Each structure stands twice: as structure tokens, then as C-alpha cells.
């Protein structure tokens, strides 16, 4: 690379905002903070045609047209781009000093990998999850096939593989990644956007604006309404002691608003920040995750968090007195939520601990600095 110009970083993701989802939000924050730190950043992703877009912090986004029928019809987030993907990948990889792909299971990552091999460029990789526990045996088989073939090749090629927890670290190490190249790198969270509710009056105002009851204990679920997120378990755990609030959308089984259940639909980050402030508890009985961004957002928003007792959380040192980790059992979830609904003092203690923990441990600036150090160590910049 040329020492007289900024480091050129190509981030590769199957989706990118305004498409909603965890990986796309991570890539958007990385692009924003890497650009703010002085790198020249481009994102290669899918979407409607329209050429390059410029973000406010200087990163550009190149979108390749793709068919997204699997996501729209079956809830499987797997866009299928046309041949322009490989053309753009070759062009942008040639431009870049460093290529960073997000998740090895997508066509965008495979195209970037092919270009990396041909152009002999250094490649980094973030693997967000292991095999996703999906109800379809065909989907599970396809995942296993991917990771025994192309996914393995990507992991072997990567200079560094970034993971969110020990579960994913073990997964990538058994599927081709060299253990000495695997690094734990937590995501950040925007502690200014996602903040606790300032007063009862503010909470009441937000609830009225969102059409939520002002006199009920509200349990928030935020995420895509797909099986792995566990929204169906929450519906099965419903109880008169609390109301359920769903922020997200899905291809089927979307809970309609009614007695005890409120559906807010898709929300922008700003709208979602209001939803956190409107509610009393956060519950996400998901599976096959790294460390979900919505859990981080709920924590920094000062909400008590109830989520799945996943081994992946072990490396984060969460205090089980203040973060409730449960089996994916509707009856256990119901009893826990009912007890917390009746104990506002405990909820306040849990929320205070969560906010402090998130502010100490989840920083996008630190995340971007760690990436730049790794990039520069490989490129010699």
C-alpha cells in the first residue's frame, strides 16, 4: 500500500442498512468508526441498484442487485446476487489494502474470497454465529455443507477470524481456522442513542406515542420474528402479570396486537431506542447467537435482561444475579417474568448493573481501534 494515503478497507456483508438485522448494523458501525479514525472505507453489499452511496462519515456503500425471495418467502436471510457481484468484488478488492468479510455463509463473502485469492490481498473475517439451529432439516444440511467446503476455505485463508464468544471460537477452529488466528472482539453499542428513561413522565409520553398501555408492566422483544429468536416461546409464556411488546417483523406467525400483546413492527434505531425506554423488561429467548446486539442495546438502555443460558456468554463474565440466563422453556420464562413484574426494586438493580456493564465493555471506538491495529500489523501500515 501507499504510505502517503489512508488505509483502504473493504467491508463485505450480505445486507446493509436500511435492511434491519444484527450483522448489517455491526458493519454500518464499523464503517462509520473506521472512517472516523482515518481509514478510507467501502462496503460491498446487496440491494437495489443505485451505485455508490456516501455515508455521513465518509464511507461509501456499493450495492449489487440481488434476489431476496428466500428471505421474503421463508425467512432465510440469503440474498442471491447476479453476476455483477463478482465484477464488483474484483474491482473493489483490487482497490483495497484490506478485505474484511462478515460471515462465511453468504455469496457476497464467497465472491470477495475469490477476488482475494486472485488479487493476493489480505483478508479478515468476522464469524458472528455457528450453525444456526433451524427447524428445517434441509437448511441445517445446507449449512453443514457450506462449512465443510467454501466456509472452510474462507476460514483457512483469513489472517484473523474475529468472534463474539467461545462457542463460535470453537466452531471456527473445528472448521478450518487456525486457533492462533482467532480473536475475541466484542461489538460496541451507542450509549448516547440507547439510554435509560429519564423519568416516569418521559416513559408515559413514549408509551402514548407508541400506542402502548401506560399502566402495565411491559416486556420487550426486539429482533426478527424468526424461530431462532424465540418469539414463539415468549408468546407461549404470556401471563396476565405483564404485556408482551414485539419490535420486529417476520415472514409468518407475526403476533397481532391484542389483549396483552402489542406489535410495533419494523423500527429504525431511533424508534427502537424509544421502545427500550418505554418498557420495563427485555426478553430474548434466542438460540445460535454470538452476543445479540439487542441484548447490548437493552443493557445500555438500563433494562433488566432475560435471555437464553447459552455457553457463549461465559467469556463475558455476566453476573447472573443481574442478568437472567434461562433455558428455552416457556414455563420457566413465564415464572421468571411474572416474578420480575412484581418486583420493581429488583428490576431497578438489574437495570443499573446492566447499564454500567455495557458502558464499560461495549465501545465502537475501541472495536474500530482494535480492527485498525490488526489491519496495520498485516499490511505494515
Helices (H) and strands (E) in the chain, counts: 14, 16
CB 30 within 8 A of CB 64: no
Q: How confident is the model at residue 71, as a pLDDT?
A: 83
Residues 6+ apart with CB under 8 A from 300: 189, 190, 191, 194, 195, 354, 355, 358, 359, 362
Q: How confident is the model at residue 379, as a pLDDT?
A: 92
Q: How confident is the model at residue 51, as a pLDDT?
A: 56
Q: How confident is the model at residue 357, as a pLDDT?
A: 96
CB 297 within 8 A of CB 270: no
Determine the length of the chain.
Answer: 381
Higher-confidence position of 63 and 257: 63
Distance CA 167, CA 283 (A): 21
From 38-52, 81-95, 206-220, 318-332, the region with the lowest mean pLDDT: 38-52
Rounded average pLDDT over 103-125: 97
- What 3-state DSSP class applies to 339? helix
The residue among 262, 265, 301, 261 whose CA lies nearest residue 281 is: 301
The tens digit of pLDDT for each residue in 144-199 reads 888 989 999 999 999 999 999 888 999 999 999 999 999 999 999 999 999 999 99
Question: In sequence order, what are the beta bridge partners of 262?
Answer: 245
C-alpha dihedral, 314 to 317 to 323 to 326, nearest 10°: 20
Distance CA 11, CA 17 (A): 14
| pTM: predicted TM-score of the whole model, two decimal places | 0.87
Name the pLDDT band for 289 (thresholds 50, 70, 90): confident
- CATH fold label, 200-361: Rossmann fold (3.40.50)
Q: How confident is the model at residue 178, as a pLDDT?
A: 95
The residue among 214, 123, 117 whose CA lies nearest residue 161 is: 123
Residue 5 CB-density burial (10 A; 0-12 exposed, 13-18 middle, 19+ buried): exposed
Tell me whether domains 8-188+363-379 and 200-361 share a fold: yes
Distance CA 355, CA 203 (A): 17
Query: In the numeric block, which cell numbers belong to residue 220?
Result: 420487550
| Angle formed at CA 267 by CA 250 and CA 325, multiple of 5 degrees | 70
Domain boundaries, the chain: 8-188+363-379, 200-361
State the chain's mean pLDDT as an integer.
Answer: 92
CA torsion sign, 149 to 153 to 154 to 155?
positive
Q: Taking 80 as the threshold, does the pLDDT of residue 134 lie above it?
A: no
Q: Taking 80 as the threshold, does the pLDDT of residue 335 lie above it?
A: yes
81 alpha carbon, distance to own chain's centre: 22
The residue among 112, 79, 157 whose CA lies nearest residue 10 is: 112
Please determine, looking at this structure, whether the domain spanning 8-188+363-379 carries the CATH number 3.40.50.2000: yes
Amino acid at each position: 500500500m501507499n504510505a502517503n494515503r489512508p488505509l483502504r478497507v473493504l467491508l463485505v456483508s450480505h445486507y446493509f442498512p436500511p435492511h434491519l438485522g444484527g450483522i448489517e448494523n455491526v458493519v454500518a458501525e464499523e464503517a462509520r468508526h473506521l472512517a472516523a479514525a482515518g481509514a478510507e472505507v467501502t462496503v460491498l453489499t446487496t440491494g437495489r441498484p443505485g451505485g455508490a452511496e456516501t455515508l455521513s462519515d465518509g464511507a461509501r456503500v456499493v450495492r449489487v442487485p440481488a434476489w431476496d425471495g428466500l428471505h421474503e418467502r421463508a425467512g432465510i436471510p440469503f440474498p442471491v446476487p447476479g453476476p455483477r457481484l463478482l465484477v464488483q468484488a474484483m474491482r473493489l478488492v483490487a482497490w483495497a489494502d484490506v478485505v474484511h468479510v462478515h460471515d462465511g455463509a453468504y455469496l457476497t463473502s464467497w465472491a470477495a474470497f475469490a477476488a482475494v485469492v486472485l488479487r493476493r490481498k489480505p483478508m479478515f473475517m468476522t464469524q458472528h454465529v455457528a450453525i444456526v439451529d433451524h427447524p428445517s432439516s434441509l437448511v441445517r444440511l445446507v449449512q453443514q455443507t457450506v462449512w465443510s467446503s467454501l466456509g472452510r476455505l474462507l476460514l483457512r485463508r483469513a489472517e484473523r477470524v474475529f468472534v463474539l464468544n467461545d462457542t463460535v471460537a470453537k466452531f471456527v477452529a473445528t472448521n478450518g481456522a487456525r486457533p492462533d488466528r482467532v480473536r475475541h472482539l466484542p461489538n460496541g453499542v451507542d450509549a448516547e442513542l440507547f439510554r435509560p428513561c429519564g423519568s416516569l413522565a418521559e416513559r408515559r409520553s413514549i408509551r402514548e406515542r407508541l400506542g402502548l398501555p401506560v399502566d402495565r408492566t411491559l416486556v420487550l422483544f426486539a429482533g426478527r420474528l424468526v424461530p431462532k429468536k424465540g418469539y414463539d416461546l415468549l408468546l407461549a409464556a404470556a401471563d396476565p402479570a405483564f404485556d408482551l411488546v414485539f419490535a420486529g417483523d417476520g415472514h409468518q406467525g407475526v403476533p397481532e396486537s391484542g389483549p396483552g400483546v402489542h406489535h410495533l413492527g419494523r423500527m429504525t434505531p431511533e424508534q427502537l431506542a424509544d421502545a427500550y425506554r418505554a418498557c420495563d423488561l427485555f426478553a430474548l429467548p434466542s438460540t445460535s447467537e454470538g452476543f445479540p446486539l439487542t441484548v447490548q442495546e437493552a443493557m445500555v438502555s438500563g433494562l433488566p435482561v432475560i435471555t437464553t443460558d447459552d455457553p457463549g456468554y461465559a467469556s463475558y463474565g455476566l453476573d447472573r444475579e443481574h442478568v437472567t440466563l434461562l433455558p428455552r422453556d416457556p414455563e420457566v420464562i413465564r415464572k421468571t417474568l411474572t416474578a420480575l413484574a412484581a418486583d420493581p426494586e429488583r428490576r431497578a438493580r438489574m437495570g443499573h448493573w446492566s447499564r454500567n456493564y455495557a458502558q464499560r465493555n461495549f465501545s465502537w471506538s475501541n472495536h474500530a481501534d482494535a480492527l485498525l491495529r490488526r489491519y496495520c500489523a498485516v499490511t505494515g501500515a
